[in-house]
Amino acid sequence: MPLDNQTNMADLIYNLPRGLGSSGEYYDDLKITSNHFIHNEVNSRVKDMVVDFRTFVYEERIEKVRSFNEYLLEFLFIGISWQSYAEYASNLTPSTKILTNFLYSVRSHSKTLKPVTDRIRGVITTSKLLRRQDYLELMPSLDNLRMIVAWLDATKDFNEEVKRLEAWIDFLKSKSPIYIANVIKFSLDISKKFNTVFTKYLGKYTTGVEPFLKSTTKVYKNREDAIFCRRTELHYFFNMFAAEILNRAMFDRFQRTKEKFVLLPTCMSSPESGICKARVRGLDIECTGCSANCKVNRINKMLKGKKVDVKLLPRSSDFSKWIKRWQDNQEVGLVRVACVLNLLSGGYGMMSLNIPSQFVFLDYSGCKKHWPTVAQPTATNIDQLMVTLYPGYQKEQKKLKPIAPVPNRMVKLPLKPAPSELPAEDLFEVLDTTFSKS
């Protein structure tokens, strides 16, 4: 969908259509760039470390073993977190950590106290969590990795990511200091290569990030969402790559589901009157079709009769509670439409609940709460949404093409495999199954 007249392209933080009227080119670029990175930039040492961790996950029964690429994603996040937040993490004190945990617990359990606690959290974010003084470059050690993960946890912006990094810490406990230092060193090296590759090929979609960061330093002072909103371009690239990897990982399971839901954010609502008349029942928000030209209503009408229901998402803090109704249900598949920075945490949350899912980006951020410089409403790529729901969808003809049922390619592990016997068929898997160019 093209940008609305009231939305100034110069104000956009990321912009997938880039004034071309459609973000279709972006999805092709993302797929190609992801494949290039996995094939050409991941060296043998990184592969060995990720396989070592994957073996540890199986032997310790931490979770059902996932694909190599998913664990590569976690390895990459170690380097990105160290690169982005080490200077802040070194100043985290135990008292600050205790206070942030307490305030987050209060705001999670009390709607009445949430505004007050968020104001206090905003002050702590600026004065404590984003303090840079007395920073010395951290040595690559397990204690310092723990410190960075503790800082990530204190922000409460990386809850799902922290769970995964804690498993890496458990893995590294039994390793030598040299092995630990190498894991951190190689994760930093690969994160820098990642940034170089994605800047070269996808930087044209994120040209607004740096100007936004430079112009909004004071805007986000003492705001609890300062760390989330002021993430660097590297984090946009990482979330893009993460969505691509998770889409590939869950593609087969999602396509085998019998019932599908599309989850749209309320920032896509665009009634002509300016007042959304969606029906609210508890955490459920349902479109009532009050405006013919509203983007939510148009998607809702388009998917009626195709065994796909459209739901409007509650605020992100309620998201995990809201989707828990589908936990472990392999008959239901969810497509979440969200802005770039929201997709990974939400995606990990859906994976934790064992819900077959897929992800489609908003063409640009549109939430006034987080991005006051961008006018609502935002939009998403309808063709990409249809391709995600129906891999046989032909964009040019705007119709569905019948496809064969998706096979079950689940791999059953032997009871006690040696490391070399772990399934390797998905190493560097770049199957062109998530998105269609047709």
Q: Please name each of the domains of the chain with its CATH number.
A: 28-236 (no CATH), 254-398 (3.40.50)
Q: Which residue has the higher pLDDT, 164 or 8?
A: 164
Q: How far apart are CA 315 and CA 326, in angstroms?
A: 18
Residue 251 has pLDDT above 90, yes or no: yes
| Ramachandran category for residue 282: left, alpha or beta (phi over 0 → left; psi -120 to 50 → alpha) | left
Per-residue pLDDT band for 285 (boundaries 50, 70, 90) equals confident
Q: What does the pLDDT average to over 285-302?
A: 84
Given this model, what pLDDT does residue 146 score?
97
Q: How far apart are CA 368 and CA 362, in angstroms?
A: 14
Q: Tell me how crowded residue 107 is: count the other CB atoms within 10 A of its CB.
A: 20
The mean-pLDDT minimum among 67-81, 211-225, 297-311 falls in 297-311
Q: Where are the alpha helices (DSSP H) in 41-67?
A: 44-59
- Four-point Cα dihedral 338, 343, 346, 350, nearest 10: 100
Nearest to 111 by CA among 411, 276, 315: 315
Nearest to 370 by CA among 315, 299, 310: 315
Q: Which residues pair with 286 in a beta bridge?
A: 279
Q: How far apart are CA 347 and CA 368, in angstroms?
A: 23
pLDDT digits (tens, 9 = 90+) for 155-178: 999 999 999 999 999 999 999 999
- 86 touches 148 (CB < 8 A): yes
DSSP-derived pairing of the beta strands 308-312 and 259-264? parallel
CA 4 → CA 85, 247, 276, 295, distances in Å?
36, 29, 17, 11
Q: Tell me how crowded residue 54 is: count the other CB atoms within 10 A of its CB.
A: 23
Given this model, what pLDDT does residue 11 score?
72
Q: What does the pLDDT average to over 44-55?
A: 96
Q: What does the pLDDT average to over 425-432?
A: 38
| Ramachandran category for residue 176: left, alpha or beta (phi over 0 → left; psi -120 to 50 → alpha) | beta
CA 171 → CA 59, 312, 419, 430, distances in Å?
11, 39, 15, 27
Helix (H, G, I), strand (E, B) or coil at 310: strand
Given this model, what pLDDT does residue 357 score?
96
User: Whole-number mean pLDDT of the chain?
Assistant: 84
- 376 touches 368 (CB < 8 A): yes
Q: How far apart are CA 253 and CA 351, in angstroms?
A: 12
Give kind and range of the element (H or E) at residue 389.
helix 382-389
Q: What does the pLDDT average to over 256-260?
A: 92
Give kind and range of the element (H or E) at residue 122.
helix 114-124
The CA-CA-CA angle for residues 214, 216, 218, to 5°, reads 115
Q: Which residues pair with 263 in a beta bridge?
A: 311, 336
CA 437 → CA 19, 36, 259, 327, 393, distances in Å?
20, 17, 25, 32, 10
The DSSP output letter for 218 is T
Q: How far apart are CA 324 and CA 354, in angstroms?
A: 10
Q: Which residue has the higher pLDDT, 404 or 67?
A: 67
Return the amino acid letter for 136.
Answer: L
Q: Tell me how crowded residue 429 is: count the other CB atoms within 10 A of its CB.
A: 15
DSSP-derived pairing of the beta strands 259-264 and 332-338? parallel
Given this model, what pLDDT does residue 295 score?
86
